[in-house]
Amino acid sequence: MTATSTASAAAEAVERVLLEKDPEAHIARITLNNPAKKNAVTPEDCARLGELLDDVAEDDAIKVVILRGTGGIFTTGADLSRAYGWYDTPGDKRRPSQRRRLRVDRRTQRMFHELNGFPKVTIAQVESFALGAGLEWALGADLAVVSRQAKLGMPAARFLGPVLGNIALFLYRLGPVLTRDLLLTGRMVEGAEFESPRVFARFAEEADVAAVTEELAAQVAKMPADGLTIAKEAYRLVEASSALGLEETTAYLFHSFATNLRFEPDEFNFVKERAKAGTSAAFKKRDEHYENGTG
């Protein structure tokens, strides 16, 4: 991207990620606002989200921040119209180097890593979809209210292979069985499937998720602000020492490697199909490849 297009993309991200604060209730709300693409996110959106989280972290009046999407949809993850230019070097048409991939992924992963250590309580409001980055945000938030009808998963595993995303986070939050299931099949599951093992804090019917989220946020906001931060830091220290100490490094390392796969002739290559036939046709062929003959 040129400097002009980068500046334009950053300006658009301001409108696609919104912040509102209610200091009297001690609650902030960050909203993904890209309804035309089911709140899919670009690198600039992720950077903007990081900026807004920094703003909230500095505001002593805020105890809780809700992460949500506009239009009753959390997020479908990365915007695929931008996904394959994620690693591009301006002015360089060659295949991105591994050092470029690692640098970009390290920067992106840092936001997820910092979400784990965020000094305020984070609540994900999960409606309709939490795919890719959306699933990572739902798992990385302190609390999440999830629709039983919402679709969750890592569908990019069907584009680029199973080793995508923050495996340490998945393993710790979901357990080994669900982690392997989601990553090795790439399937999407309904929120209700996570209810029995109690992966998330609250489950609700789709129409009730927003109200349940607000109720939960108000309940947390009654707690002493310093007490919340101290509790979060204590929990994070124990969690990092026992399970998540490598989460940032493993996440960006394996993501970078996984975006540089060689596909065999009988394997589905989404990037190739998308370039040849367009995104819609590529999705159709993906579904045909993975679902035909599975019952």
| 202-204 and 121-126 beta bridge pairing | unpaired
Q: Is the pLDDT of residue 295 over 60?
A: no
Q: Is the pLDDT of residue 243 over 90?
A: no
What does pLDDT average to over the chain?
86
Q: What's the rounded mean pLDDT across residues 5-23?
A: 82
Residue 70: per-residue pLDDT: 97
- Alpha-carbon span 88 to 259, nearest angstrom: 13
Q: What's the rounded mean pLDDT across residues 228-235?
A: 91
Q: For 84-94, how does the pLDDT look when each residue is reduced to its tens digit (9 = 90+)?
A: 677 777 777 77
**Cα-only R_g, the chain:** 19
CA angle 46, 47, 51 (to 5 degrees): 115
Neighbours of 250 (CB within 10 A): 18
**CATH class of the structural domain 17-261:** alpha beta
127, two tokens: 């409606």
Q: Residue with structure tokens 């409001």? A: 125
- Alpha-carbon span 129 to 132, nearest angstrom: 10
Q: What's the rounded mean pLDDT across residues 215-236?
A: 94
For the chain, the farthest-separated pair of C-alpha atoms sits apart, in whole angstroms, at: 60
Q: What is the DSSP string of the chain?
A: --HHHHHHHHHHHHHHEEEEEETTTTEEEEEE--GGGTT-B-HHHHHHHHHHHHHHHH-TT--EEEEEEGGG--B--B-HHHHTTTTPBTTB-SPPPHHHHHHHHHHHHHHHHHHHT-SSEEEEEE-SEEETHHHHHHHHSSEEEEETT-EEE-TTHHHH-S--S-HHHHHHHH-HHHHHHHHHH--EEEGGGGTTTT-SSEEE-GGGHHHHHHHHHHHHHTS-HHHHHHHHHHHHHHHIIIIITTHHHHHHHHHHHHTTPPPPTTS--HHHHHHHH-HHHHHHHHHHHHHTT--
Q: Is 0.75 topped by the overall pTM? A: yes
Q: For 18-27, how does the pLDDT look when each residue is reduced to its tens digit (9 = 90+)?
A: 999 999 999 9
Are 173 and 199 spatial neighbours (Cβ–Cβ below 8 Å)? yes
Of all residues in the chain, what percent carry a pLDDT higher than 90? 48
pLDDT band at residue 112, thresholds of 50, 70 and 90? Answer: confident
Q: Residue with structure tokens 């990037």? A: 271
Are 204 and 147 spatial neighbours (Cβ–Cβ below 8 Å)? yes
- Look at phi and psi of residue 143 and say left if phi exceeds 0, alpha if psi is from -120 to 50, else beta: beta
Q: Which of 24, 28, 72 is nearest to 49 (CA)?
A: 28
Q: Is the pLDDT of residue 257 over 90?
A: no
Of all residues in the chain, what percent carry a pLDDT higher than 70? 87
Domain map of the chain by residue range?
A: 17-261, 263-294
- Residue that wins the pLDDT comparison between 220 and 267: 220
